[in-house]
Amino acid sequence: MMKHRRDRYYWRAKKEGYRSRAAYKLKQLNQRYGLIGVSDVVVDLGAAPGGWLQVAREFSGGLVIGVDLVNIQPIEGVLTLRGDIRREDVVEKLLSVTGGGVDVVLCDAAPNLSGNWSYDHARSIDLSTAAFRCAEDLLRGGGNFVVKVFQGDLFNDFYRRVKREFATTRIYSPPASRKQSAEVYIVGKCRLSVPFQIDDLFDVVIEGIGTSGDGIVRIDGFVVFVRGVEKDERVKIKISAINPRFAFAKVIG
């Protein structure tokens, strides 16, 4: 407890009525990345004791839902559910309540630490992966995702997996995180609603040349720009970057 008593965010949370010092992490994340907008539908996974729910409600003012394995004490204007985010019935309940139109999925959950770093890191990745799977089921196109992850040897693979789903992906450590902590937050902005992902491969015929000189091809109606090709040329391409309205690819053969 002495560590908490010396922490200015702990005392600030007490003074301002937040349930945890973690509330300021979400405030700082939102200030930097603009994650939660007015009237956004927000789902917070692993939400107890509710500090992030309080902040999400302040920013959104719309439907905010918290899920945790333990009961969350009531928060005005917030719906809480008790359940395991790994269970299909919990995801189905969230889909039913939100209609599948979630704007933001948050997860500040962490496993109970054992002191064995490799084990704790693996459990953190497992929990973050469960949150990401929920986000895949819940988020609308253009939606945002934030998840806490402990750094370690499994981090990069998880980060690349998240990166494939969003137009912009960042790693951030808010000032409110303790300096000795290995936690960081992966922020995914603008979920992509496209018929492919980064690194996907396609055999295509270049349909035309754009004003910039790049080749143009459409994959299920989605425009992809390819450099260094000619009209009617047949090539094998690899998707290298995706924006909400178009994508880029490289020729690999």
% of the chain at pLDDT higher than 90? 75
State which CATH number among 3.40.50.1360, 2.40.50.140, 3.40.190.10, 3.50.50.60 fits the domain covering 201-251. Answer: 2.40.50.140
Active site includes 148? yes
pTM: 0.81
Helix (H) or strand (E) segment spanning residue 128: helix 117-138
Give me the mean pLDDT over the 69-74 stretch: 95
- Give the closest residue to 198 by CA, choosing from 165, 221, 169: 165
Q: What are phi and psi of 115, to 5 degrees?
A: 100, -15
Provide the pLDDT for residue 6.
65
Query: Would you say 230 and 215 are in contact if contact means Cβ atoms under 8 Å apart?
Result: yes
- The token duo for 88 is 């299909």
Do domains 2-191 and 201-251 share one topology? The answer is: no
Name the burial class of residue 132, with classes exposed (0-12), middle (13-18) and buried (19+) by CB atoms within 10 angstroms of its CB. Answer: buried
CATH of domain 2-191: 3.40.50.150
Residue owning tokens 């000619």: 230
State how far the Cα of 214 lies from the Cα of 247, in Å rounded to an integer.
Answer: 12
Q: What are phi and psi of 32, to 5 degrees?
A: -80, -40
CA angle 37, 38, 43 (to 5 degrees): 65
Helix (H, G, I), strand (E, B) or coil at 212: coil
Catalytic residue of the set 3, 14, 25, 148: 148
Out of 2-6, 64-68, 97-101, 184-188, pick the least confident.
2-6
Q: Which of 113-117, 120-124, 143-147, 218-222 has the highest mean pLDDT?
A: 143-147
Is 180 or 76 the better-scoring residue by pLDDT?
A: 76
Sketch the domain layout of the chain as residue ranges.
2-191, 201-251
pLDDT tens, 38-54?
A: 999 999 999 999 999 99
